[in-house]
Amino acid sequence: MAIEIAPHIVVDPAVRFGKPVIQGTRVPVELVVAKLAGGMTTDEVAREYEITLEDVRAALSYAAELVAEEEIRSS
């Protein structure tokens, strides 16, 4: 059973080992972000993985939230 953890982002233990994916697909959020970091445009990613531009933006937004919550502690 898929659980929405952010707009357009779901997790389901039966899909991609429970990794966050774009809702209604098997496209992992980490793949979308990695492709953008590698130089693909949002349009290219959307076309390549048959997702919407809104889905691409949702993946970036979710990743930004995770980074914003990260706390690095120095020893």
Total domains in the fold of the chain:
1
Q: What are the DSSP E strand ranges found in 12-69?
A: 21-22
H-only helix segments in the chain:
29-37, 42-49, 53-69
Predicted TM-score of the model (pTM): 0.90
Measured in whole angstroms, how far is the alpha carbon of residue 29 from the centre of its chain?
2
75 in a structural domain: no
pLDDT for 19-54, tens place per residue? Answer: 999 999 999 999 999 999 999 999 999 999 999 999
Q: The domain containing residue 63 runs over which residues?
A: 3-69
Cα–Cα distance for residue pair 52/42, rounded to 1 Å: 9
The CATH number given to whatever domain includes residue 10 is 1.10.10.10
52 in a structural domain: yes
**The pLDDT of residue 63:** 97
CA distances from 21 to 4, 53, 61, 68 (A): 10, 15, 13, 20
34 in a structural domain: yes
7 in a structural domain: yes
74 in a structural domain: no
